[in-house]
Each structure stands twice: as structure tokens, then as C-alpha cells.
Structure 1
Amino acid sequence: MAAHDIDLIVDLAGRDDELRRALEDLRMNRHFAMRDVLMKTFGDWPLRTARSQVLAVGAGDGGAVAAWLDEEPGSPDALMMWARVLTRQAVRALREGKDEALLHRAAAVARDACWTAMRYWPEDPVPWVCLLDLAKLPIDLRHLDPFFKQRPYQWGLPPEMGLFGGPWPLLHEVDRRDPGNREAYHRMREYADTCLSGGEAMDFTRWATGYAPHGSPLNVLPLYAFVSLYRRRHPDGRDGAISFWTTAQVKHYARKACDDWFYATPVPARSRLSLLDLNHLAFVLVTCGEIGASGVFETIGPYATSAPWAQVSETLGRDWQSEFRRTRDSSLRRRGGHRS
């Protein structure tokens, strides 16, 4: 079948059929499949983090999670998902521009849910990931940390000179449990981008890739920062928008993500790679003119994600799915740059 004949599948669950069934269950306000897919993540922190993030979106107002918690008040999974739901609600209130008093209350309720989940399963990194997400709210970040008064160093001190002060102790707690946790580092990037500046977020992602091992998704972080910077600088797609993507810096980090993450992952394991990361890599490789996008598109298959295609296409007044198809088809016709 020709590439342009492949229907796109834009789905929160991506390739994860078990997760898709859990989301369908949630739409009927049932929690049983959600409980089962989380039980299967035991010992696999990256999978637990990724699945719980998607489930929190599917849970909406959290009715199914609340029902689960009523049935099993001591379930670490139910408590973690309740923290996820409340955290998402608090961050959504921030995006919607709610008043500061409401944001403080929402953050406090979500924080308390995170702390409760920690007590029931101290090894779980996800409640700490949620706290990092809450750091975007206009609150005293120290109040998110249950160990604030016990820290032997200045709270929020950056690990390197030149980096910003911020919720580093929260990131450290995630790293203790799941080194290089993908979502945690994205939450830290979002904190810098939201509360500081695009330049600070870029510096953070460069610092993170400097420590990232081969195969780590942290090698893709700068590509997200580039998309955010582009939207800040070129909201209408003009005034140097094209040249933004062809700088030596963009090319360097696109190549690094391709070599140190995508090609560093064995072919049989690539089906587990984040579809968001794959779509960002494919987009930036094509836009900056580096080779290798065809192999990334083959791994993506029909599983397009709206980001970053929609984020950039809307500045140009274009339909993102049409842009994805056009870019994919063009890349797959030029297979000369493909490596396996």
C-alpha cells in the first residue's frame, strides 16, 4: 500500500491496545481495565509513567478513579491515579486563567493527593512527576516538597552553574526512583518555558542531553524546546521562520536525537518509543534538511500525533494532517538517506 493511502490513526493510546481498551472502559465510567493495565506495569517505571499520564486524560473529571478509590482506598495504583487526575485539573485551571486563590486551592489538594500516594508506595516516581507538573502554578515551590525542611542544601539550587533555580529537588526524587524519567524532564522543561523563558528551557534541554546515555529519550528534549521557541518568535510563520530551522544548532540536536536515541534503539524495540518523540524527530529532521527521516516515518507508521505538526502548521494557516502526509510521502520517496 502506498504511503499516501495509509489512514492516519490519531489516538491517545497509540499502539498500546491494552491501554486503548482501558480508555474505552473509562468512557463508560468503568475502572476495571485501567486497574489491570496499571497492574501490568509493575517494575516498569517508564511504562507506568506513560500509561498513567494517558489514563489521567481519559479519566476526565475523575469519576471512575474516585469510584475505584472508594472500593480500594489502600490501592497504591488508585491513589496514584487520583493524584494524576487532581494534578491535571489544577494545571488545566492554570491554562484557563483561573484566579490565583482557586489555583492555590487546586494545587494544595493535588499536592496532598501526591503525598498520600507516596506514603502508600514510596518507590513510585509518578507522584513526584505530578509534583513537578504542579510547579508551573504560581505557588511557593518549597511547599510541594514533603521533605523541604529536611534538605541539607538550599532548596531549588541548580546542579550546574548557569542554570536556573527551580524545583530541582523534585526532579532529583524522580531520578532516584527512575533515572532519566522522560515525563519528569519534560515537566522541568515546561516549568522553565512557562515560568522563566524559552532560553532557560533551551539551556535546560542542552544540559540534560549532555548527561543522557545512548538510547535515552532525553536526547529528544531540545527538539521540543525548538518548537516552543519557534512559536514564540514566529507566531505568524513569517520574519525568518524558514531560516529558524536551518541553523547549525537545530541540525546538531536533530542529528544527536537521531543517532543517540532513534538509531541507538534496536529495531525490535522501536515499537515502544514515544510516538510524540518520533513525530518531533521526523518533523525536525525534514525541516532542517538532515537525513534519516524516512526510517523514523516507517517506525511511526499511521500513528501521527498532532504535535508538533499542528503547532507549526497553525502559524502557516495549513492543515496539520495534510502537512504530515505530504512530509511523510516526500521522505519515503527519498529512501537514500535511510539507515537501519
Structure 2
Amino acid sequence: MPDSLTTTAAPFTPQLKRGAASPDAPLIVSPVGADTDLRAALEDLKMGRYLSARDLLARTGPNWALRTIRSQLLAAGAGEPGVFKTWRDEEPNSSDAAMMWGRVLTRAALAAYRGGQSQQVVARAAGLARQALYQARVLWPACPVPWVDLLKLTQLPFAPHHFDPHAHERGMPWDASRDPAMHHRGPWPLLAEINQRHPGNREGHHRMREWFHNRSREPGAAMNYSCWLVAMGTPLNPQLQILPLYGLMDIYRKRHKDGQNGALTFWQTAQVRHYACKAYDDWFANIAPVEYPWQPLSDLSHLAHALVACGENDRAAFVFRAMGPYVTPQPWQDINASLDRSADWRDEFLRIRASVLR
């Protein structure tokens, strides 16, 4: 790795705005879903004000699942990231400010890499992100979020162990799993740090899947990881039952982005039905309806799509109702584009939802 890289509150119970899906319900495209507090904080961030985000994270406290997804969406939807630097500069001892600054710097480093910037530029951006995340983990050692973004940084073209502050203390080989059933090498120590703080952290396991998809040289590693995780019996978090559906979507994009070679039948296999029904039965079916608005909308969207595509419309109807009027573009947008459908993906989604709910 280039040298430039050297460079207790009670859990918060938020308020929700409810919505219910009906065949003719309007459509709201937003990953925020029913979290109106988060939506208000995002609007303030877009106007260069961080106080609402600061208060939101303070109220969220050590609710790690909510803290992880809220901070992820705040970083992704804030607009100008300089607002977080202002917050960090004005409150240098704030763990929330340091964590959010690390979040946006991580996004900037990945964007530089994906945008084709030079190795020197990417290394500099990665070093700044790593430095901010190291500071954030010191300010609140129990928080898993800085470790989640350190794991995310391993998608960059550098040795993954350079993003582990304890790499020199660990046994070798650094990237070997302790489970003999999992032979794929990867940034396992970073995932272990996340699980130590928040067992089954959703974003952490998604970042691990993304590492296997983007960096592993072993074919099928990402799907193997997802299937291994859900085959262990009861995962650390039942929500992780959804991971194979994301893995299947990655495979679909690679094989059928042009709509050819059996694109229409890809989702009608026994494998898709197995993982879609398993995610429904082992995760979604056990969620109390009052908790529906707090499930990640992306997970509900992927589950609804897979159930419809493999013919499980009765199950899909419950998922559509749980989504209310909200939806995320994926996977619907990419599926629609791959099949070269003339209708906008939103119109196609409304058509599918209406046909299932009637």
C-alpha cells in the first residue's frame, strides 16, 4: 500500500409515519422509508445544516442496527459532504461527527477509485478515510460503524490488512477464516471486529459480500459466502437470510444485463425459490407488523421481487403491504433495463404490485 495511507444512552424508540400499500397506492421512491426523523435530517443537511443530524444520532444512541443504517443513509443523501467536516471541526471530540466524517470520506475514496482516478489520488483519499475512522473508533470503541467502513475500504486496490489497526497483533495468515467450512480468503478480522460489537450487523455482512464480489479472484465467492452464512443454522441476525438474493442479483447482472441467455427464466429456478422462501419464512414471517416500517427497504424490495419472479405471489403480497408506499430503485430498475422494457421501471413496479395485491 502506498505510504500516503499512513497519512451510554438508552436505546431510542423512534416515531414512524405509517403507510399501507394498496393496488392504487402512490409510489414514494426513497430508501428512507417511514423514518420521518431521518428524512428531516437529510433535508437540513442538503441546506448545509448539521444540527438535526447531530440530534438524530444522539437520540439513536447505541441502537446499533438503527445507528448503522441511519448513518449510512445520512452519508449517502447529504449532498455536499463538507457539512460533516464543518461539524467535525466545530466538535472535534464528538464521536458522531468523527464517525460521519469517516463515512463520507470512505464514500469519496470509493468514488475516486470507481471514477478512474489515479492510484495516488485514490491512496490519498483512502488514507484520509482511514485516519478519520481510526479517530472515530477511539472516540467510541463500542460502536461498530467505523469498522464497517474500514471493511468497505478493503474494496479498494490495496492490501486489505492495511485497513486493520490491529493487523500486526493477529495470527497469520491474516485473511484466513477460522471456520474450516469457509475456505475463501478475505478481510475476516474486520468482520469479526464488527460482530464483536454488534453480532450480525447487516451492513457489515453486506460489505463482506461486496468484497468477495469485487475483489476475490475465486469464481462464485460472493454467492458461496452468502449461502454459507445462511446455512449455519440460525445466523447472528435472521435478516441476513436475504443475502443470497443479493448474490443472485449480482449473478443476474453479470450474465443477463443485456436481457439475453435465459434472462426471463433466471428467477424461475428451484434455487431462487429456495432462498426467497427461506428468507420469507425464517426472517420476514417472524417480524411483528408494527416493526415493518423499520425493516431496510432495500431488503424488502429484493424479497418482493424474488418472490414474484419465482411465482410466490401469496408471500409477495405480504411483503408489498409491509413496504407501504415506499420502494427502492433496485432491483426493479436493473431488471427492467435488462429486459429492455419500454415502460419506466416505476410503472412496471406499480403494475406488478397491483397484480399481486388485487
Q: Which range, TM-score by smaller chain?
A: over 0.9
Paired residue for 2:231?
210
Paired residue for 1:338?
none
In structure 2, the CA distance between the partners of 1:2 and 1:58, relative to structure 1 (3 Å rule), is closer
Tell me the alpha carbon deviations over residues 128-149 of structure 1, each in whole angstroms, 9 at most, x when there is no partner: 0001111110011111000001
Shift of 1:194: 0.9
Give the conservation status (yes or no) of the 8 Å contact 1:192–1:198.
no
Paired residue for 1:44?
63
In structure 2, the CA distance between the partners of 1:67 and 1:5, relative to structure 1 (3 Å rule), is same
Match of 1:64 among 83, 86, 89: 83
Give the conservation status (yes or no) of the 8 Å contact 1:215–1:262.
no
Paired residue for 1:331?
356
Q: Which amino acid aligns with 2:348?
A: E
Give the Cα–Cα distance (whole angstroms) in 1 for the partners of residues 142 and 310 of structure 2.
41
Q: Which amino acid aligns with 1:187?
A: R
Residues 1:103 and 2:122 aligned together: yes
Match of 1:166 among 186, 198, 209: 186
Q: Which amino acid aligns with 1:126?
A: V
TM-align CA RMSD = 1.6
Tell me the alpha carbon deviations over residues 122-178 of structure 1, each in whole angstroms, 9 at most, x when there is no partner: 111000000111111001111100000111342110233443111110000000000
Paired residue for 1:285?
307
Q: Which amino acid aligns with 1:315?
A: S
Shift of 1:272: 1.0
Give the Cα–Cα distance (whole angstroms) in 1 for the partners of residues 171 and 250 of structure 2.
35
Moved more, 53-62 or 319-328: 53-62
Residues 1:265 and 2:287 aligned together: yes
Paired residue for 1:176?
196
Residues 1:317 and 2:331 aligned together: no
Moved more, 261-270 or 19-28: 261-270
Q: What secondary structure is seen at the aligned counterpart in 1 of 2:137?
A: helix
Paired residue for 2:143?
124
Give the Cα–Cα distance (whole angstroms) in 2 for the partners of residues 258 and 162 of structure 1.
25
Q: TM-score, normalising length from structure 2?
A: 0.89
Give the conservation status (yes or no) of the 8 Å contact 2:48–2:80.
no
Give the conservation status (yes or no) of the 8 Å contact 2:164–2:190.
yes
Q: TM-score, normalising length from structure 1?
A: 0.94
Paired residue for 2:28?
9
Tell me the alpha carbon deviations over residues 205-233 of structure 1, each in whole angstroms, 9 at most, x when there is no partner: 01111234496210000001111100101
Paired residue for 2:211?
191
1:54-93 alignment runs, 5 A limit: 54-93=73-112
Give the conservation status (yes or no) of the 8 Å contact 2:23–2:355.
no
Q: Which amino acid aligns with 1:326?
A: R
Tell me the alpha carbon deviations over residues 20-52 of structure 1, each in whole angstroms, 9 at most, x when there is no partner: 000010011000000011011112000000000
Tell me the alpha carbon deviations over residues 76-135 of structure 1, each in whole angstroms, 9 at most, x when there is no partner: 000000000100111111221222221111111111111111111111100000011111
Q: Which runs of 5+ in 2 are unaligned?
A: 1-19
Tell me the alpha carbon deviations over residues 253-307 of structure 1, each in whole angstroms, 9 at most, x when there is no partner: 0000000110011222222111100000000000011240000000111101101
Shift of 1:195: 1.2
Give the Cα–Cα distance (whole angstroms) in 2 for the partners of residues 225 and 116 of structure 1.
33
Give the conservation status (yes or no) of the 8 Å contact 2:301–2:331.
yes
Shift of 1:61: 3.8
Shift of 1:181: 0.3
Shift of 1:4: 4.3
Give the Cα–Cα distance (whole angstroms) in 2 for the partners of residues 332 and 59 of structure 1.
35
Q: Which amino acid aligns with 1:204?
A: Y
Identity %: 48
In structure 2, the CA distance between the partners of 1:266 and 1:12, relative to structure 1 (3 Å rule), is closer
Match of 1:200 among 204, 221, 228: 221
Shift of 1:5: 2.9
In structure 2, the CA distance between the partners of 1:2 and 1:148, relative to structure 1 (3 Å rule), is closer
In structure 2, the CA distance between the partners of 1:204 and 1:289, relative to structure 1 (3 Å rule), is same
Give the Cα–Cα distance (whole angstroms) in 2 for the partners of residues 269 and 235 of structure 1.
35
Give the Cα–Cα distance (whole angstroms) in 2 for the partners of residues 118 and 154 of structure 1.
24
Give the conservation status (yes or no) of the 8 Å contact 1:163–1:200.
no
Q: Which amino acid aligns with 1:185?
A: H
Give the conservation status (yes or no) of the 8 Å contact 1:163–1:204.
no
Paired residue for 2:9?
none
Match of 1:235 among 257, 263, 268: 257
In structure 2, the CA distance between the partners of 1:2 and 1:75, relative to structure 1 (3 Å rule), is closer
Paired residue for 2:52?
33
Give the conservation status (yes or no) of the 8 Å contact 1:125–1:178.
yes
